[in-house]
């Protein structure tokens, strides 16, 4: 036989085999080969059909099947052999094919004509179909986004001989998600860096779609090293972001994500940037019952504890000295690198300490200092000397008489000058004396008076005391 005779025989045999099938018929087959343009499908016995490779690709253009996989498809032509399709072209589907597609669950191609009450009008072949708003996409979207678009749909209701069609695009999207979700989950491991799309933004964080409908939570605390007050100011639904997998709970399928972990940690520079005693400019971020939080730089936050504020004597107390978003000078009191904590104290405005370092006053026995009255107790008066340094004036050292009102003599918030009598080894128990200051002043006045008395009296009447003192002074021989 000649080559042309062989070709004719092959075509005739294929034609005879194709007669066993009808257009619109749904069948299953096994892929036996995949070429550049078409794939070959074994449909049973010696029957073989073809299907365009384009119909075997996903949205990214990758072939989603392999040799040996079984597929379900519809016969669209028997001329010159069996031609199959996994979806019906928008303009080529007949009423019978639409019914077959409904029964087989095959996708059909349709164009979204316009939004109507409750959904969309979709044109499929010569038929009008209805797609509810809830079935056009997996996520809630603006209705106008889909108008004029051509999508693949699944017929979920077929009534009145095809005159009443209800279709769903969401059913196909969810099916695709389920197919790819298992593969996506295999790639989700702690420490992995993945690209996702923001699905929704809430007050406590954002849900990120990592692919295949698999979502993880990016908590607001993991969005940046600096405090994020409103996640919606940083992220919007639809944004594409790169995140790091922090935790995966196999039991609950919950995935925790991080964004700040992909940025440099500002605390890595703290040891060489900040020293105890330094005075730095900071911004008050929020006020709590136990103190004020202060941002020294993005990602580095310190605490000005309530005990570091000087008493005011006013009803609002220490909180009147600071307010959110206030910028001021703060002295660094302590640094804990392991716990990432820095203790600071507000430097009074206009103080010579502002802009300088190592400003802690010397609190040692014999030192004469000025502090502020902090509170009263039965056994004495507590005086604020410096942030975190409070001393006690025992009643016996106040210089007040036993029947005197100590609270009136030492009002809260008032300045008081004291002498340091004793400091224990820890530097926390400090014994003070206001009486010693009074004694020192009195001694100074007596000394000054005596020095004046020893001086030569000026010509004139003088005072009676001066004349008596002169009379009592022994004359030199």
pLDDT for residue 156 is more than 50:
yes
Bridge pairing between strands 164-168 and 127-132 = parallel
Position with higher pLDDT, 467 vs 68: 68
Task: Give the list of residues 6+ apart from residue 42 with CB closer than 8 angstroms, or none.
Answer: 29, 30, 31, 32, 48
User: How is residue 57 annotated by DSSP?
Assistant: B
User: How is residue 457 annotated by DSSP?
Assistant: P
Q: Which helix (DSSP H) or strand (DSSP E) does residue 330 occupy?
A: strand 327-336
Q: How far is CA 457 from CA 444, 454, 465, 468, in A?
A: 21, 9, 12, 12
Identify the weakest region by mean pLDDT among 29-33, 70-74, 85-89, 188-192. Answer: 85-89
In the structure, what pLDDT confidence band is assigned to residue 9 with cuts at 50, 70 and 90?
A: very low
* CA trace torsion 363, 365, 366, 372 (10° rounding): 40
Residue-wise pLDDT tens digits, 289-328: 888 999 898 889 999 988 888 776 665 677 778 888 888 8
pLDDT for residue 431 is more than 60:
yes
Average pLDDT, the chain: 81
pLDDT for residue 154 is more than 80:
yes
pLDDT at 258: 92
Q: How far is CA 181 from CA 165, 175, 210, in A?
A: 30, 10, 9
Distance (Å, whole) CA 16 – CA 48: 12
Q: Which long-range contacts (CB under 8 A, 24 or more apart) does 295-301 make?
A: 295/226, 295/227, 296/330, 296/342, 296/344, 297/266, 298/224, 298/225, 298/226, 298/266, 299/224, 299/225, 299/226, 299/265, 299/266, 299/267, 300/266, 300/267, 300/270, 300/342, 301/227, 301/342
pLDDT at 315: 58
Q: What proportion of the chain, given as a percentage, has pLDDT over 90?
A: 18
pLDDT for residue 477 is more than 50:
no
List the structure tokens of 284. Answer: 């008050």
Q: DSSP 3-state assignment of 179?
A: helix
Task: Of 62, 66, 88, give the one whose Cα is nearest residue 75.
Answer: 88
Distance (Å, whole) CA 313 – CA 411: 8
Based on C-alpha coordinates, what's the Rg of the chain? 44
Contact 43, 49 (CB under 8 A): yes
List the structure tokens of 200. Answer: 């929704």
pLDDT at 72: 80
Question: How would you write 182-237 as a 3-class SS string?
Answer: HHHHHHCCCCCEEEEEEEEEECCEEEEECCCCCEEEEEHHHCCCCCCCCHHHCCCC
> Could you tell me which residues are beta bridge partners of residue 49?
41, 82
pLDDT for residue 408 is more than 80:
yes
The domain made up of 193-262 has a fold known as: OB fold (Dihydrolipoamide Acetyltransferase, E2P) (2.40.50)
CATH of domain 266-346: 2.40.50.140
In the structure, what pLDDT confidence band is assigned to residue 359 with cuts at 50, 70 and 90?
A: very low
Distance (Å, whole) CA 294 – CA 65: 58
Neighbours of 362 (CB within 10 A): 7
Q: How far is CA 294 from CA 75, 173, 271, 328, in A?
A: 71, 48, 18, 10
Q: Which helix (DSSP H) or strand (DSSP E) does residue 49 occupy?
A: strand 47-52
Give CA angle at 104 (100, 105), nearest 5°.
110
Task: Of 13, 23, 85, give the one whose Cα is nearest residue 45.
Answer: 13
Distance (Å, whole) CA 63 – CA 56: 6
Task: Give the list of residues 6+ apart from residue 51 with CB closer than 8 angstroms, or none.
Answer: 38, 39, 41, 71, 73, 83, 84, 85, 86
The domain made up of 3-85 has a fold known as: OB fold (Dihydrolipoamide Acetyltransferase, E2P) (2.40.50)
Identify the weakest region by mean pLDDT among 163-172, 388-397, 442-451. Answer: 442-451
Q: Where in the chain is the domain with CATH 2.40.50.140?
A: 3-85, 95-173, 193-262, 266-346, 361-477
List the structure tokens of 361. Answer: 């006053």
CATH of domain 361-477: 2.40.50.140
Contact 303, 293 (CB under 8 A): yes
pLDDT for residue 3 is more than 60:
no
Give CA angle at 258 (256, 261), nearest 5°.
145
Architecture in CATH of 95-173: Beta Barrel (2.40)
The answer for 249, left when phi > 0, alpha when psi is -120 to 50, beta otherwise, is beta
Distance (Å, whole) CA 407 – CA 90: 92
Residue whose token pair is 């695709």:
176
Residue whose token pair is 């008032």:
414
Q: How far is CA 184 from CA 38, 60, 79, 323, 460, in A?
A: 28, 15, 42, 48, 109
Distance (Å, whole) CA 361 – CA 331: 13
């Amino acid at each position: 036989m000649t080559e042309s005779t062989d070709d004719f025989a092959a075509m005739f045999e294929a034609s005879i085999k194709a007669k066993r099938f009808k257009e619109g018929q749904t069948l299953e087959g096994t892929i036996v080969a995949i070429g550049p343009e078409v794939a070959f499908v074994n449909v049973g016995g010696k029957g073989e059909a073809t299907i365009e490779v384009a119909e075997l690709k996903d949205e990214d253009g990758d072939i989603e099947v392999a040799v040996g996989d079984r597929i379900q498809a519809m016969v669209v032509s028997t001329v010159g052999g069996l031609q199959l399709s996994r979806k019906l072209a928008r303009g080529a589907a007949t009423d019978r094919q639409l019914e077959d597609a409904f029964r087989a669950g095959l996708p059909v191609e349709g164009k979204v004509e316009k939004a109507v009450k409750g959904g969309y009008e979709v044109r499929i072949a010569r038929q009008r179909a209805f797609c509810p708003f809830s079935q056009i996409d997996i996520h809630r979207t603006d209705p106008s986004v889909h108008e004029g678009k051509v999508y693949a749909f699944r017929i979920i209701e077929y009534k009145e001989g095809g005159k009443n069609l209800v279709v769903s695009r969401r059913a196909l999207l969810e099916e695709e998600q389920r197919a790819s979700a298992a593969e996506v989950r295999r790639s989700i491991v702690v420490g992995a860096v993945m690209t996702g799309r923001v699905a929704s933004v809430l007050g406590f964080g954002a849900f990120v779609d990592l692919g295949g409908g698999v979502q993880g939570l990016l908590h607001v605390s993991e969005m940046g090293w600096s405090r994020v007050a409103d996640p919606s100011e940083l992220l919007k639904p639809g944004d594409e972001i790169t995140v790091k997998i922090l935790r995966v709970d196999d039991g609950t399928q919950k995935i925790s994500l991080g964004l700040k972990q992909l940025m440099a940690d500002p605390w890595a520079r703290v040891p060489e940037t900040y020293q105890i005693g330094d005075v730095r400019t900071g911004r008050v971020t929020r006020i709590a019952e136990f103190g004020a939080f202060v941002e020294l730089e993005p990602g580095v936050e310190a605490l000005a504890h309530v005990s570091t504020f000087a008493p005011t004597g006013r009803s609002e107390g220490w909180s009147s000295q600071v307010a959110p978003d206030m910028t001021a000078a703060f002295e660094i009191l302590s640094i804990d690198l392991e716990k990432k904590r820095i203790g600071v104290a507000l430097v009074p405005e206009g103080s010579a300490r502002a802009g300088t370092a190592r400003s802690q006053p010397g609190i040692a026995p014999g030192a004469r200092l000025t502090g502020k009255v902090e509170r009263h107790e039965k056994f004495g008066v507590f005086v604020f000397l410096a942030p975190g340094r409070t001393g006690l004036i025992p009643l016996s050292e106040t210089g007040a008489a036993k029947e005197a009102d100590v609270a009136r003599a030492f009002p809260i918030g008032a300045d008081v000058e004291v002498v340091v009598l004793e400091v224990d080894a820890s530097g926390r128990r400090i014994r003070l004396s206001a009486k010693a200051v009074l004694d020192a002043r009195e001694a100074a006045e007596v000394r000054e008076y005596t020095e004046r008395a020893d001086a030569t009296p000026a010509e004139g009447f003088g005072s009676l005391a001066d004349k008596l003192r002169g009379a009592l002074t022994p004359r030199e021989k």
